[in-house]
Structure 1
Amino acid sequence: MTQTCTYYLAPPSPYVYLGHQRFADLVRQYQVQVDVRPFDLGRVFGLSGGLPLAKRAPQRQAYRLVELERWSRYLGKPLHLQPQFFPVAGDPAAFLIIAAKLAHGNDAAMDLTGRIGSAVWAEQRNIADDATLAAIAGEAGFDGAALMKAAATAAVQAEYQRYTDDAIAANVFGAPWYVVDGEPYWGQDRLDFVERAFRRD
């Protein structure tokens, strides 16, 4: 039986960016089937006690920068601590990822998720801009204009709402969030435990 992992993500999250490639590598290594689910982190924050970055206490904001730099160095992933286009709305990128998933499968959604994270944190591109998203999709080998058209459909937006509802029902309160055999793991710094779960099964 093929093992599965549900992957809840918010496209602009720096921690989704930092952990995504390692997670993708683990998925390939252990031949895990991933269910990619972009969700509305702002809505989840409102229900779970989380705060958007601008509303966090100064000491928390300062420590966040220390952690991001530390993880960037450790993982060898380029990261601008204060990229030009952040904070940025995540909905348009989430719609694009979902459109790719519906049209081309979870592998396509995984690929776009990685590229979108790099666009924000390594390349300082605006992922709330339709032309930028179409270009990213084109760089991944897709018809960017067609995928952006699909991303604007009611079916894609309904999936986004469903994924968010599912995240709330699953007690998700942050991103990235992985669920393996019903067990939740919050954050890219829990990937060692995710790997143990993959190995165990």
Structure 2
Amino acid sequence: MTQIDYFFATISPYSYLAGNRLEEIAAKHDATINYKPLDIMALFARTGGTPPKDRHVSRIEYRAQELLRQSKNLGMEFNLQPAHWPTNMAPSSYAIIAAIKDGSGDVGKLCQLILRACWAEEKDVAQDDVIRDCLANAGFDPELANSGLLVGAETYAANLEEAVDRGVFGAPFYITPDGQRFWGQDRLDDLDRHLSEMNG
């Protein structure tokens, strides 16, 4: 079975705008998704990127226009300046890692709910109650928010190292088994076509 390695951050607006399209593409190609949450700010520092607040004003202005355009085109509710951004990504990432290990609910839905909480619902995804609600709504035991913290921390750090080693420099980022890399939710159609060619 084809596997897609999916590197993302739980406060990434472009990861949010991907919606459920990766899951739809995976289902279409009978592929599995390896969800790999990571610290996007640490990734920027390691790979020559610049945090949004430190970018040149022209880049900041363009990013704002592009995010609003893409959210409108996708029909997704979007707040350009959410009340709780940036925030600590670790708690929500640890919860996703615990949910992957648990396997009882829908990991893709969990990721989408956490991202939506940040970018459309004015919630702080570093808060325990927000994470617990997302877990419950994705079919997981909310207590996963408080379990496996050591494993979560280790995996979260390992995901960052793996990302750097494999040429990841932003989020969302998708890698196929043959090493093809796709950066950005606006490259999902390209990922879809490549999987068709791989499996054709």
TM-score (norm 1): 0.93
2:174 match: secondary structure: strand
Q: Is the Cα contact below 8 Å between 2:89 and 2:125 reproduced in 1?
A: yes
1:51 match: secondary structure: coil
Q: Is the Cα contact below 8 Å between 2:20 and 2:108 reproduced in 1?
A: no
Q: Is the Cα contact below 8 Å between 1:98 and 1:109 reproduced in 2?
A: no
2:164 to 168, 172, 175: 168
What are structure 1's unaligned runs of at least 5 residues?
Answer: none
> Superposition pairs for residues 1-201 of structure 1, below 5 Å?
2-104=1-103, 108-144=106-142, 146-151=143-148, 153-180=149-176, 181-200=178-197, 201=199
Inter-partner Cα distance in structure 1 for 2:182 and 2:91:
26
Q: 1:109: Cα distance to partner?
A: 2.3
Q: Is the Cα contact below 8 Å between 2:16 and 2:116 reproduced in 1?
A: yes
**Identical aligned pairs, as a percentage?**
32
RMSD, aligned α-carbons: 1.3
Q: Is the Cα contact below 8 Å between 2:110 and 2:135 reproduced in 1?
A: yes
Inter-partner Cα distance in structure 1 for 2:78 and 2:18:
12
Q: Is the Cα contact below 8 Å between 2:9 and 2:38 reproduced in 1?
A: yes
Amino acid at match of 2:10: P
Inter-partner Cα distance in structure 2 for 1:78 and 1:27:
24
Q: 1:176: Cα distance to partner?
A: 0.4
Inter-partner Cα distance in structure 1 for 2:138 and 2:3:
24
1:20 match: secondary structure: coil
Inter-partner Cα distance in structure 2 for 1:45 and 1:95:
20
Q: Is the Cα contact below 8 Å between 2:5 and 2:175 reproduced in 1?
A: yes
2:20 match: secondary structure: helix
Give per-residue Cα distances to partners, 1:149-185, cap 9 Å, x unaligned.
115x211211111111100100111000000121111
What are structure 2's unaligned runs of at least 5 residues?
Answer: none
Q: 1:4: Cα distance to partner?
A: 1.1
Q: 1:20: Cα distance to partner?
A: 3.3
Query: In the comparison of the two structures, how many residue pairs are matched?
Result: 197
Inter-partner Cα distance in structure 2 for 1:192 and 1:143:
34
Inter-partner Cα distance in structure 1 for 2:141 and 2:34:
23
Q: Which runs of 4+ in 1 moved over 6 A?
A: none
1:88 match: secondary structure: coil
Inter-partner Cα distance in structure 2 for 1:191 and 1:158:
29
Inter-partner Cα distance in structure 1 for 2:179 and 2:133:
36
Q: Is the Cα contact below 8 Å between 2:6 and 2:35 reproduced in 1?
A: yes
